[in-house]
């Protein structure tokens, strides 16, 4: 089975979206072509939703794209991680939890990333203990060293963050033996004078 025309235009669009710079004109043109050939093309809708929410700040427009994907093609697993991450950024934590839970029910899924996102959500709620537990669970579902190291660093970062909230212990003033012995001598000499 070959690539559809929508797939080909999606690949052009995603190739135009680089880490350090994007050819936005090429990206928009290719994305529009992909969606004109297949309006429910899941990868194209996911990319459009990400652009709307992450780059243009049109969260509801982006979320609408993700909802279309889940309704038409719930097996497209990338939608759950992208959608949940952007919901968390928009402080829609309950909605994010529902998306993650639904994503976890799918036959194929990225459990490690979904557990990480759940951890991220609990971190936002300042439930650091639960966040760390979920990161450990994510590590068990990780099958590459790079992501495993990333999760280790997340655990370290959250532990540091948890320490910021811990009450500081008061340090007791240490007095030297000489000072204590001088005080005792003064007190004993005062007592002797009174007698």
Which residue ranges make up each domain of the chain?
A: 1-84
Q: Residue 171: what pLDDT?
A: 66
Q: Where are the beta strands (DSSP E) in 16-71?
A: none
Q: For 86-140, write each residue's pLDDT tens digit.
A: 999 999 999 999 999 999 999 999 999 999 999 999 999 999 999 999 999 999 9
User: Could you give the CA distance from residue 54 to residue 90 in angstroms, rounded to a whole number?
Assistant: 10
CATH code for 1-84?
A: 1.25.40.10
User: Could you give the CA distance from residue 185 to residue 176 in angstroms, rounded to a whole number?
Assistant: 14
Q: Residue 1: what pLDDT?
A: 64
Question: Left (φ > 0), alpha (ψ -120 to 50) or beta: where does 127 sit?
Answer: beta
Q: Residue 68: what pLDDT?
A: 97
Residues of the chain scoring pLDDT < 50: none
- In percent, the amount of the chain with pLDDT more than 70 equals 84
Average pLDDT score over the chain: 88
Displacement of CA 193 from its chain's centroid (Å)? 73
163 burial (CB, 10 Å; 0-12 / 13-18 / 19+) is exposed
Q: Residue 187: what pLDDT?
A: 60
Query: The pTM is what?
Result: 0.79
């Amino acid at each position: 089975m070959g690539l559809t025309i929508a797939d080909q235009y999606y690949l052009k669009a995603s190739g135009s979206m680089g880490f350090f710079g994007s050819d936005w004109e090429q990206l928009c043109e290719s994305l529009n072509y992909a969606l004109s050939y297949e309006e429910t093309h899941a990868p194209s809708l996911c990319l459009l939703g990400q652009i709307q929410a992450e780059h243009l700040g049109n969260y509801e427009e982006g979320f609408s794209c993700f909802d279309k994907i889940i309704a038409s093609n719930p097996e497209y697993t990338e939608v759950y991680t992208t959608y949940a991450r952007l919901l968390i950024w928009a402080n829609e934590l309950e909605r994010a939890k529902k998306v993650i839970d639904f994503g976890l029910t799918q036959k194929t899924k990225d459990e490690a990333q979904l557990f990480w996102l759940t951890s991220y959500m609990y971190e936002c709620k300042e439930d650091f203990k639960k966040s760390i537990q979920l990161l450990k669970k994510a590590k068990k579902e990780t099958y590459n060293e790079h992501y495993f190291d990333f999760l280790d660093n997340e655990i370290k970062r959250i532990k540091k963050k948890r320490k910021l909230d811990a009450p500081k212990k008061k340090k007791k003033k240490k007095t030297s033996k000489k000072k204590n012995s001088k005080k005792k001598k003064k007190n004993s000499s005062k007592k002797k004078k009174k007698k």
